[in-house]
Structure 1
Amino acid sequence: MFNSLQDKLDKALHNLSGRGKITEINVAETVKEIRRALVDADVNYKIAKDLTKRVQEKAIGQNVLTSITPGQLMTKIVHDELVQLMGGTQEGINLSGKPTIILIAGLQGSGKTTFSGKLANYLKKKRGKNPLLVACDVYRPAAIDQLKVLGEQTNIPVYTDLENKNPSIIAEQAVQFAKENKHDVVIVDTAGRLAVDEQMMNEIKSVHYFIKPTETLFVVDSMTGQDAVNTAKTFNEALDFDGVVLTKLDGDTRGGAALTIRSVVNKPIKFISTGEKMEALDLFYPERMADRILGMGDVVSLVERAQEQFDEEEAKKLQKKIAKNEFGFDDFLKQIHQIKKMGNMKDLLGMIPGVGKAIKDVDIDNDAFKHIEAIIQSMTPAERRKPSIIDVSRKKRIAKGSGRKLEEVNQLMKQFEQIGKTMKMLQGPQGKQLMAMMGKMGGGMPGGMGNLFGK
């Protein structure tokens, strides 16, 4: 996410590292590089110029404390300006109304239908709602089928009317259906076009007029840069929407749309979407995004994702197994599944301060655990339960059954043994002290692991 912009800002701010003080000359050099980095990332030139002007004014004349360097001070100033540019504070979704009606708008290919499914899943699992998805894209049959598939995956009903070609009537009927069937949220997925046109605008305005949505969200493909900003402006003039959703942030995006769309349409970014998984949806926090853009990671979001997968009952059972030295490969497999549910692996690692920069050129497959799962699943129940019985002949059979090399089986066994020792160590006084300290810092371990060891 924003790798190119992150690299360029890092180089620009590096100009001040090792400097004893901030001067007009070195600030001017740094600001020029920052402006260039922002424009290269597809940020509107005027917005980039205004931001860097404010940075320059705040930096010049600043007294650098002995505890921080000029580079750190400039990074703080840039960070604060980026936060303000992206809205300052997090703004949630409005769920008032009986039912809450959410209208989803955007161009074709922006990810509206996938986002509709993700939003329904988010509201069901995290907000305890009973949502209804509504298929109002009457021009693209695949959109209706796609919404049905997403509904089946998340066990959320989808309202369709294949006989009707009027999206306004379909949406209105769906709202009535929701009232009769106790659905407290209605999410209306509308048709998109390859470009903004009058017919499209009239149609979406008609749907908006008939159902009077509680919340209208405009979905933007982050990879389209300033084109996305211009489209958002046109849609906002027609609909006066309530918020923006940035999709495909896991792609090779330059970041310009994310940074400038808020200031252009004066509407908050409410959600960001990464990847195809239904869980890959996050609330948008300007401060956390600024942290990530400047390579500071996003530990808070990482911990939140871990806590979502944390099962207290399972944790207690696992703690007892560790205490009795009965932690087996079935337990290990459960932990892997918890981590996988947290989202895209590269995105998760990028949330750890310093790691994002280190892995920016590394291709991390989402199936990074696939070979481990194959090896474990080739073991017998007895072997998974009691790894100590796995001798050389069993290892050879497991390697053959999983289609992996014997060396890989040996490596997994060695890693598993090390994990077991670490877990045992964390059961002791020193381990509990470490976990307590991490708890105070807001830390944790993937899959709720931090809660498993007596924290």
Structure 2
Amino acid sequence: MFDSLSDRLSEAFKNFKGQGRLDEKNIQDGMREVRLALLEADVNFKVVKEFVEKVKERALGQEVQKNLSVGQQVIKIVNEELTLLLGGEQEGLVLKGKPAKIMMVGLQGAGKTTSAAKIALYLRRKKYKPYLVPADVYRPAAIEQLTVLAKQLDMPVYPSTTEMNPVDICRDAIVKAEEAGCDVMLLDTAGRLHIDELLMEELAGIKAACSPDEILFVADAMTGQDAVNVAATFDEKLDVTGVVLTKMDGDARGGAALSIKSVTGKCVKFVGMGEKLSDLELFYPDRAASRILGMGDVLSLIEKAQSVMEEGEAEKLTEKFRKAKFDLEDFRTQMRRMKKIGSMGSILKLIPGLGGLSKQLGDIDMPDKELNRIEAIISSMTMEERKTPKLINPSRRKRIAKGSGVELADVNSMLKNFDQMSKMMKKMMGGKGGMGKMPQMPNMPGMPGSGGGGMPGLPGMEGMEGMEGIGQPSKEKSKKTLLARKKKKLQKQNRKKQKK
């Protein structure tokens, strides 16, 4: 979402050159570009003005730290101020009631119903027992939507009907939640296309009847400044405790996220990063600031990896490598884990220094396509074949190729590469000295950090060639290598003749 802003800020920081002292001239020139970048990102103009003044005040006359350029010093100051602008510290949910109650409010179409289900899933992972309450009796199919989501999550849901009063639904749901042994309720309230008095009266009635621990305003990040203005109105009427920004994975310019804390005084607590119910993240201001400035977000990447890796799985895999029992079924499982973390492009954005590389992929994310192709090949095998690849004879290879929709050469290449990797892993794990020196990784995708440190199929990334047809040396380079070998062979033959 912050891609455009990141690009503009990167250009702005190029204006700070040289070593020594930050003076009014170079600060003025650089901050003019920063101001334009923030305004283009649809950040509130008052917020932009205050932000720029704070940065200038801190930077003016400040000595540049040792080993830092002027640009790096300014980036350090901007990073700290951006973190404060986004909220300072991460704020989680405060749930004290028995059962605790979370009231979802916002305009129609912002994503309240889906966000309620996403937060319910998040809370269940935190060992809570959620109870979903559909209290929107006006929007067609709103009750049915939350009921279906509750069924997908295998969670209890209040049996609301369109004839019922929303305040009565929420009041009665407290009793039903206690009877069901649930310790947290999520109240999905009604919205409108615009704010009106009837809506606010109804929401105020629900608040008075239920005394919610959290009132979360749900806003569509794509609406920019409109979301901030609406949030201010809801806060004035209901005193919201936090904000949920949806569609943060889209091409929104980021103005809502950057303005909402300064305008409303309320922090963003969650961000929706996709359509899946698992696509919900806690909002960390410091991590968001790092992403905006192109500094990556390693902590989020680690957390994503941990969330898809079951406890003790890493140890089991290590033991399989040690005993050379890592098979194609294990390999397919790990590829699926990697895909759950995100696309190759989204992962690159979280790695410091590699965010800009994702743009080189364009619309075709080749490594992800290769992973899908390899998974299709492995999925076309029987469980016996996955566990014992040596069983796969030529006739079986033809069947696998046909079943996965690829060429026979693709199956042969994949099996050959997997065999090379297995031998290499066995060699690595053998011997008394532990793992020892890491040998060159064969052409297997999904194993970053091995080989020469590259990634399969990415332009400008050396060290790992990837699967056949991706990241392979050019034909011109191959011809040059072949000619060099022939030349060397002829020279050797000539030397032998001369000796005779």
Could you tell me the TM-score, scaled by structure 1's length? 0.89
* Comparing 393-402 and 279-288, the one that deviates more: 393-402
Aligned to 2:453: none
Matched, 1:43 2:35: no
1:416 equivalent to 2:418? Answer yes
Which amino acid counterpart does residue 319 of structure 1 have in structure 2? T
Residue 59 to residue 197, structure 1, CA distance change in 2 (3 Å): same
Larger mean Cα displacement after TM superposition, 84-93 or 32-41? 84-93
1:402 CA drift (Å): 0.6
Match of 2:92 in 1: 92
1:395 aligns with 397
1:43 deviates by 0.4
Residue 414 to residue 166, structure 1, CA distance change in 2 (3 Å):
farther
Return the alpha-carbon distance in structure 2 between the equivalents of residues 352 and 236 of structure 1. Answer: 36
Measure, in 2, the Cα distance between the counterparts of 1:389 and 1:20. 68
Q: CA deviation at 1:19?
A: 5.5
In structure 2, relative to structure 1, the CA distance for the partners of 1:43 and 1:163 (3 Å cut) is closer
Measure, in 2, the Cα distance between the counterparts of 1:417 and 1:41.
50
User: CA–CA distance in 1 between the matches of 2:29 and 2:331?
Assistant: 52
Question: How many angstroms apart in 1 are the aligned matches of 2:84 and 2:244?
Answer: 18
What is the match of residue 439 of structure 1? Answer: none
Name the residue aligned to 2:442.
none
**Hey, what does 1:205 align to over in structure 2?**
204
- Specify the alignment match of 1:147 in structure 2: 146
Instruction: Output the amino acid matched with 1:264.
Output: V
Q: Aligned partners of 2:114, 2:162: CA distance in 1, in Å?
A: 24
CA displacement 1:30-77 (0-9 Å, x = unmatched) = 100000000000001111111111111211212123311111111111
* Alpha-carbon displacement from aligned partner over 1:407-445 (angstroms, at most 9, x marks no partner): 4434533553465466446647575899xxxxxxxxx99
Higher mean C-alpha deviation, range 364-373 or range 288-297: 364-373
Paired residues of 2:21 and 2:62 also in contact (CA < 8 A): no
Partner of 1:241: 240
Q: Which residue of 1 aligns with 2:311?
A: 312
- Distance in 2, matches of 1:229 and 1:351, equals 27
Question: Aligned residue for 2:135?
Answer: 136
Shift of 1:395: 3.2
- Confirm or deny that 1:358 pairs with 2:360: no
Relative distance call for 1:168 and 1:292 in structure 2 (3 A) is same
**Residue matched to 2:190:** 191
Native 8 Å contact 1:159 1:174 kept in 2: yes
Determine the structure 2 residue equivalent to 1:25: 25
My pick for the range that moved more, 228-237 or 329-338, is 329-338
Quick check: 1:295 aligned with 2:294?
Answer: yes
Aligned length: 435
- 3-state DSSP of counterpart to 1:319: helix
Aligned-residue offset at 1:315: 3.0
- Give the whole-Å Cα distance in 1 for the aligned partners of 2:17 and 2:427: 40
Q: 1:26 to 1:403 in 2, by over 3 A?
A: same
- 421 and 273 in structure 1: CA distance in 2 versus 1, 3 angstrom threshold: farther
Q: 1:426 & 1:349 partners in 2: Cα distance?
A: 27
Q: 1:386-407: per-residue Cα shift (whole Å, max 9, x none)?
A: 2344455443322211112334
Asked if 1:382 corresponds to 2:381, the answer is no
SS in 1 for 2:359: coil
Describe the superposition over 1:351-404 as per-residue Cα deviations: whole angstroms up to 9, x where unpaired: 112232211363366974433321111112232112344455443322211112
Q: Kindly report which structure 2 residues correspond to 1:261-276, keeping only aligned pairs within 5 A, or say none.
A: 261-276=260-275
CA, structure 1 residues 261+180, in 2 after alignment: closer, same or farther (shift >3 Å)? same
Alignment correspondent of 2:491 = none
> Cα distance, 1:162 vs. partner?
1.2
CA contact (8 A) 2:104 2:112 kept: yes
* Structure 2 residues not aligned, in runs of 5+: 439-447, 450-500
1:269-319 deviation line (CA, Å, top 9, x unaligned):
111110012221111111001001111111101111211222234333322
Paired residues of 2:21 and 2:61 also in contact (CA < 8 A): no
Give the SS at the match of 2:248: coil
Query: How many angstroms does 1:153 deviate by?
Result: 2.0
TM-aligned CA distance change 1:117 to 1:415, over 3 Å: farther
- Contact 2:143/2:160 (<8 A) preserved: no
The 3 A distance-change label for structure 1 pair 178 and 323 is same
Give the aligned residue type for 2:35. R
Bigger radius of gyration, 1 or 2?
A: 2
The Cα of 1:265 is off from its aligned counterpart by 0.5
Partners of 1:222 and 1:426 in 2: CA distance: 48
* 1:55 alignment partner AA: V
In structure 1, what is the equivalent of residue 216 of structure 2?
217
Task: Give the aligned partner of residue 453 of structure 1.
Answer: none
Distance 2:183 2:131 in 1: 8
Q: Specify whether residues 140 and 91 from structure 1 end up closer, same or farther in structure 2 by C-alpha distance, changes over 3 A only.
A: same
SS in 2 for 1:84: helix
Of stretches 87-96 and 345-354 in structure 1, the one that deviates more from structure 2 is 345-354
Question: How far apart in 1 are the matches of 2:273 and 2:428?
Answer: 34
Residue of structure 2 in register with 1:331 after alignment? 330
Q: Residues 35 and 52 of structure 2 are in contact (CA less than 8 Å); yes or no, is this contact kept in structure 1?
A: yes
Distance in 2 separating the partners of 1:208 and 1:432: 63
Rounded to whole Å, the distance in 2 between the matches of 1:60 and 1:167 is 56
CA contact (8 A) 2:150 2:156 kept: yes
Structure 1 letter corresponding to 2:119: L
- CA 1:411–1:248: 2 relative to 1, 3 Å: farther
**SS of aligned partner of 1:359:** helix
1:78 pairs with 2:82? no
In structure 1, what is the equivalent of residue 54 of structure 2? 54
Structure 1 residue 348: Cα displacement: 3.3
- Kept after mapping to 1: 8 A contact 2:10/2:293: yes
In structure 2, distance between residues paired with 1:134 and 1:227 = 28
In 2, distance between residues paired with 1:66 and 1:425? 45
SS in 2 for 1:46: helix
Alpha carbons of structure 1 residues 418 and 253: separation in structure 2 relative to 1, 3 Å: farther
Match of 2:463 in 1: none
How far apart in 2 are the matches of 1:194 and 1:422? 61
Corresponding residue for 1:452? none
SS at 1:158's partner residue?
coil
TM-score, normalization: structure 2?
0.81
- Compare 33-42 and 148-157 and name the one that shifted more: 148-157
Name the structure 2 match of 1:13. 13
Displacement of 1:234 after TM fit? Answer: 0.7
Give the Cα separation in 1 of the matches to 2:129 and 2:150: 12
Q: Distance in 2 between matches of 1:364 and 1:431?
A: 36
CA distance in 1 between counterparts of 2:201 and 2:343 reads: 38
2:375 matches 1:373: yes
Which consecutive unaligned segments of at least 5 residues does structure 1 have? 435-443, 446-455
